[in-house]
Chains A and B, each alone.
Chain A
Amino acid sequence: MPKTYLDYAATTPCDPKVTRAMSVFLKKDFGNPSSIHNFGQKASMAIGGARQSVAEFLGCESEEIVFTGSATEADNLAIFGTVKASKITKPHIITSQIEHPAVLESCRELEKQGAEITYLPVNKDGVVEIAELKKALRPNTLLVSIIYANNEVGTIQPIAEIGELIGHAMSSGHRMSKIYFHTDAVQAANFLDCDVKKLGVDLLTLSAHKIYGPKGIGALYVKKGTPIAPVIYGGGHERGLRSGTENVAGIVGLGQAIKEIQNPKLKIQNIKIRQFRDKLIKTILKIIPGSRLNGSLTQRLANNVNISFDGAEGEAIIVMLDQKGIAASTGSACSSGSLEPSHVLLAMGLSEEQAHGSLRLTLGKLTTQQDIEKVFKVLPTVIQRLRKISGYHS
């Protein structure tokens, strides 16, 4: 059965150029970049090249890039690292209720350790309100961490506006510290401008496997002069911020993936993805009664569809779709180990029942017209079938 993959927000396949670039450093040029001999130096040079590619994408200096083992690790380094380096005894952090667990759980851990945390609400469209953030600022605010584009509903947060607000806040009133601004740009990188100067951020997280690169490699932009302490100790790699022999092939893969997403061809691909997305949203809402779109229609990533269905449960939808050759995702409680429905959907004001029946379809550069048509053919029968099992009548 031909497989239709509509879960690009979970992960993406490696671009052939990426795997080609990587394989050299798994086989021929396998040296340890810390070694002085030729094998090591080749690897070291390759890391330098990848660092340069990432820096160009972000509009920063190479020295401001730290490679990590994942985006989760980059988020942890940004949050724990700035708190650790700060002299404030009880720092205050502002984040949102719709962050990725990598940020949310890091903040919860710091809260246990005595930090003050504000979890900003979002409006029903799934967007943070600037006014709420302004109200939340305190004299001991050290860090603001807001996701650039949400992974579940794809809503885009006003990062540049927040950056500006923080800039103003620092020139007025008594402050115990400069306020540092972090954004997790993992989902945004494929579609949005990630120029750190335009965004006004001090820290920014990237992941390779969401942009057609390999798993197990992430990066953190750390603006020059930002006090930050490591969370992993050892041989002092990555300017002491991330010890551990570099994942050379992974770093090269990330560098190549970053180059590829700046390819002008991608702009055209993204237009096609957006058209597919719009068609999916419009058609599904039309042909399936008792369905509604979750999250803003306009402030939304070009590849994200998130729809709730009455009388059907998310995991059941996913498993039935998988049986028919469509791979998708859900924010349903059943799929999470905790049995709690998606914190993102609940923060947007959905009832537990509505969050229970959510379906996420995320598109990518290999998505075709046939994939979309298959959804139109299969999804209504799946929902109908599950509604029969649940005894639901619209």
Chain B
Amino acid sequence: MEQPYYTKKILERFIHPRNLGKIKDADGIGDTQNLRCGDLMNLYIKVAKQDGREIIKDAKFETIGCGHAIAISDMICDLVKGKTFEEAQKVGFETIVKEIGPIPPVKMHCAKLAQAALKAAIDDYLKKSKK
């Protein structure tokens, strides 16, 4: 059977994203652009120490892109909270689909974009904290 292009869960995330906006005193900021489809994404992270490990305490986003890109950005922010950098970077399209249900395969690049933004935010933090 054919899936709806936008499922109810995706629509809910797209219309009412929970992690929208900037983090004012962000520890790391990552911005990426998909040159092919034109989507732009900013990801902000706040880092904390827990049991001697660095974890992502908070994550927020700004995205110019389709509803899927926005919903995925929002999901990835939720999914990386409380995770170490290593754990967080394992979150991808499949993790997101498991949480939120089917997304058209053509939108797989939206998850790649969110992953790239997260990596850039972590790299930004690591660069800053070395100083």
Contacts and interface: CB of A to CB of B under 8 A. Distances in A.
Nearest to B38: A356
Interface in A309-338: 311-316, 319-320, 323, 332-335, 337
B112 to A, nearest CB: 12
B20 A389 contact: yes
Interface string B62-80: 1111111110000000000
Interface stretch (B11-19, B49-57, B92-100, B120-128): B11-19
A63 to B, nearest CB: 42
**Chain A interface, DSSP helix/strand/loop, else mixed:** helix
Given A323-B15, A390-B40, A337 B66 contact: no
Given A319-B6, A320-B15, A389-B20, A333 B38 contact: yes
**Chain B interface, DSSP helix/strand/loop, else mixed:** mixed
Contact of A340 (B22, B36, B39, B66): B36
Contacts of B106: 337, 339
A352 interface: yes
B15 A316 contact: no
A391 B20 CA distance: 9
B81 interface: no
Interface string A361-394: 0000000000000000000000000101111100
B37 interface: yes
A309 to B, nearest CB: 11
A315 B22 CA distance: 23
B64 A392 contact: yes
Contact of A323 (B11, B42, B68, B109): B11
Contacts of A333: 36-38
Interface string A22-37: 0000000000000000
Contact of A391 (B17, B37, B42): B42
A314 B38 CA distance: 11
Contact of B62 (A313, A352, A391): A391
Nearest to B6: A319
Interface of A: 311-316, 319-320, 323, 332-335, 337, 339-341, 352-353, 355-356, 386, 388-392
Given A320-B67, A334-B107, A390-B63, 11 more contacts: A313-B39, A313-B64, A315-B66, A316-B14, A319-B67, A323-B15, A332-B66, A335-B66, A352-B38, A356-B37, A390-B40
